[in-house]
Amino acid sequence: MDSIAQLIAAFDGTYAGQSMTDLFSLYSQIEEQTASFCKQFNIACAQGCGTCCEHFMPDITTSEARLVAAYLLFVKKDSQLLEQVRQNVDNHEGPCPLYRFDSPYHCQVYPARPLICRLFGACANQDKNGKAVFRRCRYNTEHTMPLSLTFDEDVPVMQDYSYALRSLDDHEGEVGYLSEMVDSLLDQLRFLANMLGLDDSNPDDTPNPMAS
Ligand code: SF4
Ligand code: SF4
């Protein structure tokens, strides 16, 4: 498998497949909205920047962890990366174990990356007075985005996106740090893949030439 579409198709008819489909569809909708928001307000990250990933460990839901775990197991198939995730289960501060320092592409699960990674530095927030505001990411020293914006019009805010995400996971409920959450789902996915007869469920040792 080499894409999320193939991954989702491989798990078709299972709970995991449905969860991946729903999540990816939500990600796609959100991506469209944030792209249009960023274009309208001249918001862009600096070329090749990924500094935020060096300084935090994303907090993610169970369905997000499932998609990342499945992507690692069946698309990346990189045992070193899986081991890196395992070794970081107690790391709550970052850097994210899926971050590559030596590649301009940085994120090794880019198509499957969690919501917070899609929104960081790219969407408005609701402030304590209920007003939508945007603040430049503090690592953006090249100033490729405005310092601060306050909106009178209705723009999507991070809290709305988080709510939509959490509502997908209502019955699963759990939220936690990426490494721990992803690691906890690997065995379950391997078992399911085995039941489905997926023949590429065992990661090999082939190094990744480039991040996704
Ligand atoms: S959000 Fe900030 S640190 Fe992260 S990639 Fe964009 S500019 Fe860089
Ligand atoms: S999952 Fe990817 S984008 Fe998110 S923090 Fe890790 S390396 Fe960065």
Q: Is 113 in the pocket of ligand 2 (CB under 6 A)?
A: yes
Give the domain extent around 84. 4-196
Per the domain annotation, does 212 fall within a domain? no
pLDDT in tens, 28-79: 999 999 999 999 999 999 999 999 999 999 999 999 999 999 999 999 999 9
Q: Which of 61, 99, 102, 181 to mutate to test the pocket of ligand 2 (most atoms within 8 A of CB)?
A: 99
Per the domain annotation, does 26 fall within a domain? yes
Q: Is the confidence at residue 94, as pLDDT, over 70?
A: yes
The secondary structure of the chain in percent helix, strand, coil, rounded to multiples of 5, reads 45, 10, 45
Per the domain annotation, does 206 fall within a domain? no
CA distance 208 to 212: 9
Count of C-beta atoms within a 10 Å radius of residue 170: 7
User: Which residue, among 63, 129, 123, 57, has the nearest Cα to 93 in the 3D structure?
Assistant: 57
User: Which residue, among 76, 88, 89, has the nearest Cα to 202 in the 3D structure?
Assistant: 76
Per the domain annotation, does 125 fall within a domain? yes
Q: List the residue whose alpha carbon is closest to atom 1 of ligand 2.
A: 113
Per the domain annotation, does 201 fall within a domain? no
- Domains of the chain: total: 1
For residue 112, the ligand closest to its alpha carbon is 2
Per the domain annotation, does 147 fall within a domain? yes
Q: Is 51 in the pocket of ligand 1 (CB under 6 A)?
A: yes
CA distance 197 to 194: 5
What does pLDDT average to over the chain?
Answer: 91
| Residues 47-83: b if buried by 16+ CB within 10 A, e if exposed | eebbbbbeebbbbbbbbbbbbbbbbbbbbbbbbebbe
pLDDT in tens, 126-170: 999 999 999 999 999 999 999 999 999 889 899 999 999 998 876
Per the domain annotation, does 112 fall within a domain? yes
Residue 211's pLDDT is: 35
> Residue 119 in contact with residue 59, Cβ under 8 Å?
no
Per the domain annotation, does 43 fall within a domain? yes
Q: Is 119 helix (H, G, I), strand (E, B) or coil?
A: helix
